[in-house]
Amino acid sequence: DYTSLRAQGSVQTTLAQRWQLALRVQGQLSSGALVPGEQFGLGGSTAVRGYEEREVSGDAGALASLELHGPDLAGRVFSAVDHFHLLGFLDGGRVRNRLGTPCRDLQSSCDLASAGLGARLGSGGLQVKLDWAFALKNGSHTARHDQHLHLQVAYSFH
């Protein structure tokens, strides 16, 4: 028997010369040990890029992602797309397990952090996200300074 609380939020602001700064945070608290499917996971294209999907997970956790988006280059680079942005990012997070259950090796608390560059492209219903990230800390499977390329492609029918 357990209780868990999940929260997330984001804020975005426009800077000079059409640059944008975006911050996204997520977190989870729990009153007890959770089954793996309910745990807070870190790693992958949406939760600390530069690592394998859900490389570490825990009963409680938090993550933050800070992105600096450059101005829209669609008209200058690709005339057939609606938007094209380049960006830089920093991601980080921590998970913790109750009852001393390890999230990596013999540790019950684990941190991941990464930095990288990305691109966002949109045309009609097509959205493409490409991120190149390098790990700043050792994970369960990823070593510090390892690199990962994350690609997401989505299409929305209107």
Q: Could you tell me the CATH number of the domain that includes residue 132?
A: 2.40.160.50
Dihedral sign computed on CA atoms, order 67, 6, 93, 41:
negative
Query: In total, how many domains does the chain have?
Result: 1
Beta bridge partners of 40: 58
Whether residue 41 has pLDDT greater than 90: yes
The range of the structural domain enclosing residue 60 comes to 4-155
Report, as an integer, the average pLDDT of 87-100. Answer: 95
The continuous run of DSSP H or E covering 110 comes out as strand 109-123
The reported pLDDT for the residue numbered 22 is 98
Whether residue 49 has pLDDT greater than 90: yes
Whether residue 136 has pLDDT greater than 80: yes
The most distant pair of C-alpha atoms in the chain lies apart, rounded to whole Å, by: 57
Among candidates 105, 100, 115, which has minimal Cα distance to 139?
105
Whether residue 135 has pLDDT greater than 90: yes
Report, as an integer, the average pLDDT of 66-77. Answer: 91
| Centroid of chain to Cα 41 | 11
The reported pLDDT for the residue numbered 127 is 96
- For 86, 90, 122, 132, 139, the CA distances from 77, given in Å and listed in that order, are 11, 25, 13, 20, 37
